[in-house]
Amino acid sequence: MNEEHKLLAISMGDAAGIGPEIIVRALAGGEAGRCVVVGDVGVLRRAVRQCGLLTPVAVLDEPTDAAPPDCVPVWQPPGLPPGLAEAPMGVVQAAAGGAAARCIEAAAALALDGRAAALVTAPIHKEALAAAGVPYPGHTEMLQALAGGPPVRMMLANPELRVVLVTIHVALKRAIELLDFDAVLSTLRITQAAARAWGLERPRIAVAGLNPHAGEGGLFGDEERRFIAPAIAAAVAEGIDARGPFAPDTVFMRARSAPDHPGEFDVVVAMTHDHGLIPVKYLGVDDGVNVTLGLPFVRTSPDHGTAFDIAGRGGADAGSLRAAIRMARALAR
């Protein structure tokens, strides 16, 4: 089957954010290939109006039904709260958080049972999830649970830099408490397996330290000596091309691959959320894609949030979502 004809499931995200807007922009014109939006029909129709588009919204009885050309195909899963399309934009709402979670569950089910080749998720709001009583802080943890609990890691990637995180959505103090030999080694194994699936037989993996100057021999912290370096050595013994730990303030520059500057590494493993994501996002969000490694299906998303400050104005940039759709198709091959 032609790759563009394989079905991608796109979850709606938070109805009060820019997710529906960037979805309709990305799908208008049909360049995204065969997709189904798992979401609220009224919300997607509102997004079309907000963006000033004339693209029709096609309502599918089943997610795998054929859709007319040049439309936004929407399958509305059962269990969504009523009135979402009349709710205010840019405001944390329990109903929107609950609807976002339901759409994620339904879309993930399509990927898990093979009806969708990959899952692309639009942005959600963590406060709205919590207000709805959803027991997960974000997509990664929710999808991990829905898939049965496999070890997973978050990667943010753009054409210049790929970064995989050991810890993600927890307070910095808690993240440091969660770091240990097993966490680092598991991340290196997951990164190696994922990179091989992309076609990199022996990916060059750089490991960023936790402390300034990677601890400076223990002067600024001993985590590098106690468990980061030993985990790297264990990975090397397994045949993984892992190197480091390197100073976090320089390793990303070394790994960045630009037309006039090929990177020294294919991917960087970072210990905490902001350590790893700030360098990628600094390079620009338009081409950035969030990928969950370790799931039994491909999942990608834009590398930005719900942007409540501009939601409903119709001016949101769909570049990162388009990049997420392209990467989902590439990885699903």
Condensed to tens digits (0 to 9), the pLDDT of residues 112-140 reads 999 999 999 999 999 999 999 999 989 99
Q: Which residues of the chain have pLDDT under 50?
A: 1
Classify each residue of 222-241 as buried b or exposed e, where b means 16 or more C-beta atoms within 10 Å of its C-beta: ebbeebbbebbebbeeeebb
Closest by CA position to 64, among listed 35, 32, 31: 35
Classify each residue of 242-271 as buried b or exposed e, where b means 16 or more C-beta atoms within 10 Å of its C-beta: bbbbbbbeebbeebbeeeeeebebbbbbbb
Burial of 94 per CB tally in 10 Å (0-12, 13-18, 19+): middle
CA distance 64 to 44: 18
Are 39 and 76 within 8 A, CB to CB?
yes
Phi, psi of 242 (to 5 degrees): -105, 140
pTM above 0.85, yes or no: yes
pLDDT at 29: 79
Element (H, E) at 27: helix 19-27
Are 25 and 51 within 8 A, CB to CB?
yes
How far is Cα of residue 47 from the mean position of the Cα atoms in its chain? 22
pLDDT at 86: 96
